[in-house]
Structure 1
């Protein structure tokens, strides 16, 4: 291989694989640029900073690598920003750090290359290493930070403005925009920044595509009256929306109107906004309430109070918005309420002179007060409510309490049951309950004359006695 061909190969390799060279026989050499650093990392315009290049020679190298030149150029340019010559040699298994001072006059990001040229075992070798240097003004600077973002979901970008200069600045304006992103309140005005002062602003941003980029522009006026601009570009790399929401509902404590417990679990990657919870009975909404937002990969427990909901299946529906799209989830819970309710208990009766006297209790087996309680005998063929108590006014009965009553009725011999009706108010609604009281085992009625001789017998006896007296008188006079 002639020398010109070898140099051409080396140039191609230096472009394709920075930091790697080839020996003359085509074998890979062990010499390489292993690291390049800058100090400070973000120099100011015109500030001298150092580029430190570390060159390593492998233990298997055939000899020392003699460094003849180290220089820095812009990619694709032949102009050097800095250069140092006759650096020295790097023995096999050793390394050497070469500091190179340089200055960049203008602000911006520089795409640079660090080149190291030397000889290894008589073969000239050139190594290169990429270097990005960001030069910023010594005045206000921008620091933009974002959390993980999702397409269509709003998040907050943290924009920090720092006055790194030695003098105050005024008329500080911030404009936030970008590509494939919408920004709420994109323009902000800061009256001024003292030397060393910093302020952090929260900027709501919503990416509209997975390739969204946030662009921030800061303008300010120096103490000398010059207007300057600082720009920052931040890729957002938002993820596609993943929606995964589950809903669980249950009846809570056993009170008159038990509340319904609702758990919303958000397994998606975007928060749930504008959340509302609705309770439906037979498709009709009986109550609705707003709920707090639910963050991504989080859950929210809610307590929904209800009233006048009947016992039976109740539907629970949660509606929400996530990443600009509407969604809803629905489930069913078996509901049981415990309003005031009256039951007839402890019934007994007595019979006196053909009248049946019924006594007992009316118990409130619910958990709210009942009012206007009236107990009465229902009139029917063979059943006649009579004084002194055809009906009985009880009044109010507190929750889990009772009251007694007494009724009087006359029933025919072939009647075995007496219907007792209870009427009452619960929450302003009139309700009625009827209980049949068995009187089949009552005693038979006693004879009306107590078992004495019939009237006809008595009359006949009197007549006979009178006849005997008349006959005796008649015999006496004839003597």
Structure 2
């Protein structure tokens, strides 16, 4: 009994294996084949009519005739030619399908020919149905006499900062089509829309201002084929830098574009990438430029040696205004800011400091009335001119009452009292010796 079960199990496994092999090696009822593709002329010029003759056959081993519904010639971006309702092929028959088009750009065009066909079949219930079959075939078209095997890619990009004033009117015209004779560099400066203001026009938008420093970007083609669809893409931290289109570069040709470095606010690496098409491939070339904005001298005032003493509700504030910047400040004024519980009072509501040279300081005194129940700080502000531009700095002094000592007038007097006492002792002692 056990032996019989074993034989039956082996038989079932063999049946399943044979059935599976049968499914895996099943041959379709229709088998289309592309035998060849001929390009005429072999190396067409840009714009010249080009015909691809596609030879399509229905294999003699096919079980059914096939109707070729359509044939297309295309790449990843577009369809160049289409033929519809081509022919019906019995097993072993063939047909040549002409597909005509023209190419605007020179280079190596890698295309795909797609053949769509259909044939009659029956389903498992014996009903008549229509099945479809699709095959593809690669087609290479070389346009403009370019040797597909001899293309050498050697596009290089270089970037260097220059002064805007150094761009001569007779310099080679940059790729963005800039007319350097009209007084603006709009097209060259990263596509900035630089406009000359009309008489009486308000200050131009900050996005349209041109800085003194420009990034000069050169794109040079040292290769053997034309670089097309060239785009320069600069990037630096979070700076808003535009993409710059460049004209097609023939072998040995160079184009120049400019980026306004005023768009970059802090020191950073400017990565410059040139993207271009060579033949049918999209390629890149890149470089980097280390940019450090020039430091403009400026004044920077801050408070030092602040002291706060009280006499009842009256607060006397003394200290210095120090210039820690790299340029002198002028017109400096220190004042107590009026706030809740704080009122500036006579005699020193504000104090005119005047000019504060670089790396120097000037003292000041202020007076105010302070309600200790309403506030715990006293705000003071210094306003000044930095290269004609008004600047302001405010600090909050912690209000910790320290009563003024007898005879104290906002300044320390004990050194003077000690010196006076010493003088009296000297003169008194000298008089006593003289009398004796």
TM-score range, shorter chain: 0.3 to 0.5
In terms of fraction of residues, the more helix-rich structure is 2
Q: Whose relative contact order is higher, 1 or 2, with alpha carbons under 8 Å and at least 6 apart? A: 2
